[in-house]
Every structure is written in C-alpha cells, then in structure tokens.
Structure 1
Amino acid sequence: MTKVLIIGAGHAGGTAAALLRQYGHEGPIVLAGEEPAPPYQRPPLSKAWLKGEADLEALLLRPENFYAEHGIELRLGATATAVDAAAKAVTFADGTVETYDALILATGSAARKLNLPGADRPDLLELRTLADAEKLKAALEPGRRLAVVGGGYVGLEAAASARALGAEAVVIERMDRVLARVASETLSDFFTRYHRDHGVEVLTSAEVTEFEASGVRLADGRLIEADAVLVGVGAAACEQLAASAGLTCENGVVVDETARTSDTAIWAIGDVTWRPIPMHGGLRHRLESVPNALEQAKQAAAAITGRPAPAPEVPWFWSDQYDVKLQIAGLPLQAERQVLRGDPAAAAFAVFHLAGDLIVCVEAVNAPAEFMAGRQMIGRGTPVDAERLANPAVTMKAVAAG
C-alpha cells in the first residue's frame, strides 16, 4: 500500500494527514514535526494566547488521540535533514530514515533575521511557534515596554495584545508606513491612527542599526528603550529540504495547481510554496495564511488518493486587533484603482481594488458584508459599477446583482 510521509506537523501537514484518511487512503501515514506539540493553530499565538484567553487544548487542530485512532503515526520533535528523491527516503537528525511512496513537504516558513549588530542576542524575541509565544507572553507585564521591529500584521497584533495586558508598546517600521508591503495606504493610515489612539507609539521611516541591552538603536542615533524586543520583519520559506531533493525552488518550492512539485512523487503545501493563483491568471505568489494551507492540503490529498481536484479558491486572510476585524480577499496584483466604501473614521469600511470593472481584492474593516460579497465577486469574475460600489446606500447584494 502507498505510504505517505508528511514533513511538517503544522496547520498544513496536520490537515493533509486528516484529509488523506477522510478521502479513503488506507496505507501508512507518517506525520513528522520538529515541535513537541501536536498540530496546532498559529494565528491565536499573537492574540488569544498572549492574552491568556486560550490554552494548548484550545489551539490543537484535533485532539491528540485523533492521530492514533486514525492510524496516523505522529513523530514529534523529529527534524528532517535531507531528502533522497531517487531512493524515496528522508533522513532525520537522530539518524533514522523514513521511506515513502508519496512525500508532502509542509515545512512552513521561518522568521527573517536582520544582519545587524546585536541581532544574535538570545533575549531578542520572534513569534512563529508556541515556544516563541510563551517567551513573549512572559515579557508582557503591566508597566513593561515592548519594542516591535517591523510594522506587519504579526507585529501590530502583538502590540495590541501588549496594550491589552497593560504593557507599553512601540512599533518601529523602516518604510514610510506600516503594512506597506501588504496593504493599501488607506488601511495603513487607519491602523496607524487606531494603534496610536490605543497608546502605541508608531515610528515610521525609522531604520534600526543595532540591538542593545537597553533597547533598539536607530539610524538617527535615537535609543528606543525597551524591556523586551520582538523582531517581526517577515518570513522566509523553509525550502532547504526541497533543495536537498533537487526540487525547483523560487522564493519557495515551486508547485502546480495540485500542489505537486517538479518531482512527481513529492508535493508541497502551505507557507513554503511558490504557487499559481488561478483567480489572478495563474500568477505565482507565496501565501502565508491558514486558508492557503487548507486549500493546498486538499489539493495534495485529492491528488494522492485519485480524487477530482478541488475547485480553486479565492485567497483570503484576516487579522484581529483590539475590537477591529480585518478581512481581506484576493490580491491587488493587477489592480489599477481603488474604491473606498464606508468611513475609516468610524472603523467600518472597505477598500476595493479594481482591474477594469473587476474586483481583484477587497480589504474590509468591520465590514463582513463587503468582504463576503467581494470574495464571491472575485471568484465569479463579476463586473462591478464603481459608483454603486462606493455608495453605502446601495447594498452589496444589489451591487453584485449589477
């Protein structure tokens, strides 16, 4: 019987293992991950976990006994070091070797490192794993000050959690606005104001030059004093195993619409992939999101079990900060203009990115109707009247109906 080996026991790998059984795979499944915990959800680490609103049981994708009950061998604390594609075998750090008939790489991504003096300090924090979150949680006490280097979503969520716990927070971003790489200027301006209104100091166009014992040194000579420093400047695909197998890599492991790599016996899913986006003409992108992990887990499990390929999905993302729920659908890769619907000052609005008369992306702040309708219209390729779209008096149902 076909043996499936999954390297990476995160959201993508854990879901793929469960789906293989759900789709009728009867052969052996081995799920191997570096962390000591069974597959768990990562998004709550910067929110509910930091604030003490969730425990490990709440984070687990499935109860730990699920894997044994479904014949899934769970190898925790197991680090894969090399893939021999010709022999169809994976070597682990402890010297053991696992063979496979089908291999799924779900190795995810790792926090980017800054090449700066003091960047190797052991007290610097990052936020990718449960262990990272525990260290950060211990540092967020009332009266303490957290410096966040990087104004991306994880950094902003951590700053919001710090404020909720009574700690001070300062966000340091080298670009001229937060979220500069991933959001519209309207959204950046909104979150900057919102964080400042909640007592967060937001510094933009501020370049870090050194990490010191008492804080962060900037290029203009200022020392930003802090009791703890969190570095969140993006993530890089963990493609080393794929490279060892001779797979094609380009800002991640290159895969097709079925999540298959350049080796027909190997699939890759989740944050590690450089994948085509059918809704955007097949343009390739690396998506770091739970929906992407779930979609590609379905693709790989379907391909391995011989089921029809699942329908392509519109990429989507979310972020929770304070009482704000941000939901994004699509990617603004081909956008030519933006349409604002609602009022940012009221913390209820949406920014639609249009290419011609088609919506390619929607950023919705406390606007679930706009998010849902926008996501559906992106998926269907529904033309839109920009004037009606901008008018909140016209319901999204009416906008979608033309």
Structure 2
Amino acid sequence: MRHIEMLNALFKYATEGIVVVDGKGTIAMVNPTAKRLFDYKEEELVGNKIELLVPIPAAHHHVHLRDNYMKEPRARGMGHNRDLFGRKSDGTEFPVEVSLSPFSTSEGDFVVAFVVDITERKKHESDILAANSEIQKLNTELETRVEQRTRELAETLLKLEESQKEALRALEKERELNDMKSQFVTIASHEFRTPLATILSSASLIGRYVSREEDEKRQKHVQRIKSAVNNLTGILNDFLSIGKLEEGHMHSVPMQVDLPVFCLELLEEMKGICKIGQRIDYQHQGAAETWLDQHLVHNVLINLLSNAIKYSAQQTEIHLHTRVEDGNVFFTIKDQGIGIPVSDQPHVFNRFFRAHNAGNAQGTGLGLNIVKKYIDLMNGEISFESAPDTGTTFIVRLPTVSPTEA
C-alpha cells in the first residue's frame, strides 16, 4: 500500500509530463505536469489518440511510427537527430524531448512517455548559436581588418622603403654632383689656366707688332687666341651638356637629314682645328636621306673627330665613313693616333677619365662620357677598337626612325 502511495505521488508531482498510452495509441493516463504542458483538462485527453498532442503536419506519419514501435517496444528516446514538437490545445507548437518506456499489466501492453518542455533550452541554444555566429562574424571582420591593416602596413612599408631608396638616390646624386663640382674646380683651374695664359700672352704680343711686315706674327697670335677660346668654349660646353643630361632636359628629336650634306658641312667646321697636314676623308654608302636627331649627332661627331685630331700627329689622315643599312645608320671614325692603352679601355666612357698616355693634351675627361649619354638617348650603341701607337676606330650605330614609325 505504501509503495502505491509513493508511485502515485511520483506520478502526481513529477516535473516531467507523463503520458500513458495503450497498445492502440489511446491515452490512458496523464499527470498534472502533462496537462499543464499541453494546456488540456484530463477528460479532454484520456480516451483520445496520442496524435492529439502531435503537430498536425506530423500526425499522420506519427501513426505509422507508433505502430512500428509497438511491434518491438523498448525503452528509448524519441526524435534521434531531429527536433520534436508538441501541440497545445490552441494549436501552439513547442519543442519537447520525449523518452519512451514500455510495460505490461493484466489489462494489456502500455507505453509511458516522459515529456520535457525544452523551450528555454532551445532559446539558450539559439542564443548560443546567435552568439557564436556573431563571434564568427566578428572574427571574420577582425581577420579582414587584420588582413587589410597588414596590406596597408605592407604598402606603407613599401612606400617608406621607396622613399628611403629615393632619398638615398638623391643623396648619391648630391654626392655625385658635389664630386663633380670638386672635380670641375680642379680641372677648370688647370684647364682654364693654360688657354687664358695663352690669350693674355698673345694679346700682349700683338700690340708690339704694328708694321705690315709683322702681320704674319700678328696672325699667328690671333690664331693662338682663337684656338684658346675654342678650347675654353669646348670645356664649358662639356659641363653644360653634363648638367642638362643629369637633369633630364635633353631628348632625342629625329628629323629628316641628307646625311652626306650634313657630314660635309660638319667637316668644314672641323678644318679650323686640324693640325698641319691633317686631312679628314669622308665616304658614304646607302641612301642619302635618313631620320636622325641632327643636334645630338652633330655633337657626337664633333667630339669623336676632335679627339681623332687631338690625339693624331700632323700629316695624318682621319677617316669618317657613314652607311645607311637595314634601318640603321653607322658612323665609323678612324684615326692614326696614339691609341688607347688596353688597361684604360674599360674606363674610356667614365666621367672625368683620361687615358694614361693623354700627356699634356687638353681635355676634361667628359667628352666620351657625354657621347655615350647622347647615343643612349638616341637608343644607339657605340663601340671601339684601339691599339697604342696604331690608332683608334669608333663605330656608332643609330636606329633611323621617323616620327610616324615611332
């Protein structure tokens, strides 16, 4: 009797809803918690099918599941890997957790269903999922921001590195300019002194030759003055050219040129600086008309021919040969001068470099450096062959491109 009382109390006061169903799915008993969960009175439940408490869309399928279960009843939970819902008297659905236990009595087979309302748990789970989703979203945003900041930092570092390189280049350029200024002062003080002394001396002596018989002596000193002024002009032009090239103020501007006419006019200019008995032989092959930067080519040839004249003895022949072929113009300048020592040949295009055998011949060491830069501006090439006491041959190749082809 005592055991029956205890069982009744357990049934009555259990916090879980308890629904007892017979073998045909008819509700036989419900405890107070079950009535409260489903919002039914006891008489509204007892005698009705259990599908009354199942959501309408699932009720028909539930009959099939119940019949299968009753064929092999055993204690187990319901809704494995899927959500279960109960249906209240007003049709409202709520999430539940159900476990089943079969038992038999003298009146037949029964199943007791323990029902737990898990609305709060689901709410907490939903809140946790939402929080996790928000955390994941924040993490994704954080990763995106970190990646963005990393990229920005990398770009900033790259810009700083470029700025640093630019600053170093500027400092290096400044050092080069300072070195160039120092070398200019040194060279200018030496190179200017000789022609200035010549000019001063000849100008003083000219005043002494007043008679017509002394005209030859006067002309000799006038010629010395002209030569000295030309030397000074050449030195100044070299330094002006270097300045323009360094500042990027010079550009190649091709124009149509009659090459033989251009070269013959240039050779007329060179006659004034030729030594006694020196002669410049000119030959041309190929088409006469071509496209070149006349100003830059003029400066290149003047420089190369001046060197040929300067470093060749009297009574020697200098050759200038031009050739137009396969979209290129070739200039060959050959002399019979002192040549360039083999050890000096790798440095001939360096700024301020002068070969060891240059002796007292005037020069700044800038001429060939400027020539190389001019030829680079015209997308050309320069090469040479030389042997001491035999002579030097310079070969210049320039592409001939009209403005319409560029």
When the two structures are superposed, what TM-score results if normalisation uses the length of structure 1?
Answer: 0.18
Larger radius of gyration: 2
